[in-house]
Amino acid sequence: MCSPTTGNDLGLTDRDHDCSCGTDSHAETATVISQDAIREHYLVDGMTCSHCVSSVTEEVSAIDGVESVKVALNAGGTSRIMVVSSKPIDTEAIRGAVTEAGYSLVSA
């Protein structure tokens, strides 16, 4: 469960949107990408805060071959995730992970 952060604001706050779990957060994860890595982009609906980002990142990162996940949160709209992997990842595996996290992968 999210809880409001005290202390330093690291620039991750979206003060114009209320999160469904009670915080006003906007987050983007850090990524280190190797030159040989495969990069795929996906769109996800339903994310509203850093907790949402963490949930999706955790589930997608658990897929075999995934090296990192970068999420560009669009609170309350369609967010973009970039999955960096050492091998091709089936879209249905990404869809399953996003669904497991509680969100929806947008079909092309």
Tally of CA atoms within 13 A in the half-sphere of 51 that contains its CB: 14
Q: What is the pLDDT of residues 38-61, one digit of tens each?
A: 999 999 999 999 999 999 999 999
Rounded to whole angstroms, the Cα distance separating 69 from 12 reads 17
Query: Which of 41, 40, 44 is CA-nearest to residue 106?
Result: 44
The domain spans of the chain are: 38-105
pTM, rounded to two decimals: 0.68
Q: What is the CATH number of domain 38-105?
A: 3.30.70.100
Query: Which of 66, 74, 12, 15 is CA-nearest to residue 40?
Result: 66
Q: What is the pLDDT of residues 49-103, one digit of tens each?
A: 999 999 999 999 999 999 999 999 999 899 999 999 999 999 999 999 999 999 9
